[in-house]
Amino acid sequence: MPDVVVIGAGVVGAACAYYAARAGLDVVVVDRGPVAGGTTGAGEGNVLVSDKEPGPELDLALLSNGLWRELAEFDGFEFEPKGGLVVAETGEVLEALTGLAGKQGVEHTVVPSGGLDDYEPHLAQGFAGGVFYPQDAQVQPMLAAARLIRRGADRFGRGTLMLRTGVTVTGFLRDGDRIGGVTTDHGDILAGAVVNAAGTWGGEVAAMAGVHVPVLPRRGFILVTEPFDEPLIRHKVYTAAYVTNVASDSEGLETSAVVEGTPSGPVLIGASRERVGFDRTVSVPVLERLARQAVELFPALADRRAIRAYCGFRPYCPDHLPVIGEDPRAPGLHHACGHEGAGIGLAPATGHLIAQTLAGHRPDLDLTPFRPDRFEERR
């Protein structure tokens, strides 16, 4: 009988399992698919502070940023602390970006129009300036999830970690009102606590416990170019519209250029957002918009081919905050889901905080803004 069952082997579930094992707990991770088979496997690997408004999510991002850097000291994490450059098309937008950076209270440098070439020599001309965030970084998300699980299983003698893929959770076991494990298509697993880290399906898992957590899928596409022999892009680069789109409640299509290189040579191009359920139909018009916006940032991309495109589903919550912590409506059930497009960046902090609550310790951040029952008053 493990201390904890973690539902979901994406990067958030992997982080919860890793930190729980590190805290001395015996952990079983179950997933109906492979490691990183859902949203994590379709992500870019953003580790961002630049797109966060001041408040609880930025606090979570800053904690997570530091934890990612600690993890990156170990071998096997493809972590790039390359920084992010947010560019502004007009002076008015640059003023708004500068104001946001000042409110955030994070490391940043305001870059005038004439200084953009120093950061990105191949950037298009005509931008009014930008803001550079040195704490922004990139991590290979599938590798990160696998490494977290591996390290949780191999490195700590205090707690153990077992991974079971191809196992579908079908319900919950109860000891009175308390959650005491899960039922699966491969048998029951008794446990002292359960962590719902099911990503986009977090709402469905919560419903099996009789509680409401409104996680919805928000589709996004990514274009991948053929490799460049020499790096074209030094940092993560995006337009100010990306910040607006992240915070939007619109169900319709929104796109904004986010462009970055990878160690192996291809360039990743995003980002689109739309709520269309779990429809995986490839939308050529969306891909065309992404390509056009990327070329407007880096004209040299026009001479390169896109060799593939893929889509994923961000686990969206209506207030754009993740759901983290024990559910008072179902004691013993802890949630770690609803991170939308920030799950990879926020995973270590989420796992760290969940592990602290599981071990009976006071978490390093106040989890009140992320409480699972906060949506009840809005129903």
What six digits make up the tokens of 300? 């040299």
Asked whether residue 76 is assigned to any structural domain, the reply reads no
Does one domain contain both 157 and 288? no
Asked whether residue 23 is assigned to any structural domain, the reply reads yes
Does one domain contain both 67 and 105? no
- Of the candidates 323, 17, 65, which has an alpha carbon nearest to the alpha carbon of residue 199? 323
Q: Please tell me the distance from the alpha carbon of residue 331 to that of residue 353, in angstroms, as a whole number.
A: 17
Residue 94, helix vs strand vs coil:
helix
Does one domain contain both 251 and 286? yes
Does one domain contain both 119 and 258? yes
CATH code, 342: 3.50.50.60
Burial of 303 from C-beta contacts in 10 A (0-12 / 13-18 / 19+): exposed
Q: What is residue 240's predicted lDDT score, i.e. its pLDDT?
A: 86
Does one domain contain both 272 and 228? yes
- Of the candidates 6, 16, 13, which has an alpha carbon nearest to the alpha carbon of residue 352? 16
Average pLDDT taken over every residue of the chain: 93
Place of tokens 């949506």: 375
| pLDDT tens, residue order, the chain (379 aa) | 999 999 999 999 999 999 999 999 999 999 999 999 999 999 889 999 999 999 999 999 999 999 999 999 887 789 999 999 999 999 999 999 999 999 998 999 999 999 999 999 999 999 999 999 999 999 999 999 999 999 998 865 567 999 999 999 999 999 999 999 999 999 999 999 999 999 999 999 999 999 999 999 999 999 999 999 999 999 999 998 877 756 666 678 888 889 999 988 999 998 899 999 999 998 999 999 999 999 999 999 999 999 999 999 999 999 999 999 999 999 999 999 999 999 999 999 999 999 999 999 999 999 999 999 999 866 5
In total, the chain counts a number of residues equal to: 379
Does one domain contain both 89 and 153? no
Does one domain contain both 230 and 366? no
> What value, to the nearest 5°, has the Cα angle with vertex 248 and ends 243 and 254?
80
Query: Can you give the C-alpha Rg of the chain in angstroms?
Result: 21
Residue 4, helix vs strand vs coil:
strand
Enclosing domain of residue 25: 4-71+141-214+319-370
Q: What is the DSSP letter of 139?
A: E
Number of domains into which the chain is organized? 2
Q: What is residue 124's predicted lDDT score, i.e. its pLDDT?
A: 97
What six digits make up the tokens of 145? 């999830």
Q: What is residue 322's predicted lDDT score, i.e. its pLDDT?
A: 98
Q: Please tell me the distance from the alpha carbon of residue 228 to that of residue 160, in angstroms, as a whole number.
A: 42
Q: What is residue 154's predicted lDDT score, i.e. its pLDDT?
A: 81
Does one domain contain both 225 and 301? yes
Q: What is residue 315's predicted lDDT score, i.e. its pLDDT?
A: 96
pTM of the predicted structure, to 2 decimals: 0.95
Does one domain contain both 150 and 54? yes
Does one domain contain both 93 and 190? no
Burial of 377 from C-beta contacts in 10 A (0-12 / 13-18 / 19+): exposed
Q: What is residue 156's predicted lDDT score, i.e. its pLDDT?
A: 55
Does one domain contain both 147 and 179? yes
